[in-house]
Amino acid sequence: MKRLMIVCLLFPLLVFSQTSGRVIKISDGDTITVLLEGNQQKKLRLAEVDCPEKGQAFGKNAKQFTSDQVYGKTVNFIETDKDRYGRSIAMVYYDNGKYLSRELIKKGFGWWYFPFSKDTSLGKLQKNAQYRKVGLWHDVHAVAPWEYRKIKRELRNKNRRL
């Protein structure tokens, strides 16, 4: 009963905090740019998912999937935070309520970004995609993007010291 009351109280905030914009650019699988009213552009980093980087296996596939899903469409989004680069982190919805991060994980084009998500259903979707070997899970040696970035940082730092 207590949870129901909390949801009822917070629901109007969620509905009214949604913003809409037309997707005009796909930077990579988990970063899009939307055009807001007044021709203002806003770069959004998708919440709860981390897709392969551009130079990483399946990076182009993740970008293409995101493009196929939302490019040119009007999406609704809820900003949840800012990342260290100043991008808005957002939950992006399209096509009558599809959650883009969920779709990426389900189709095997992104990892559940568990350090920044409490939605364990996304972890279950990832395990299912792994079991079915869809998308990036074809590769038994798939490297999570946060590990890939860490390795690249360490190599850059090592090369600077040489």
Q: Which residues are catalytic?
A: 45, 53, 87
Residue the block writes with tokens 């021709």: 39
CA distances from 117 to 33, 75, 107 (A): 22, 21, 18
Distance between terminal CA atoms of the chain? 62
Task: Report the number of secondary-structure helices (H) and strands (E) in the chain.
Answer: 5, 8
Are 77 and 90 contacting, i.e. CB atoms less than 8 angstroms apart? yes
DSSP letters for 84-97: TTSPEEEEEEETTT
SS3 131: helix
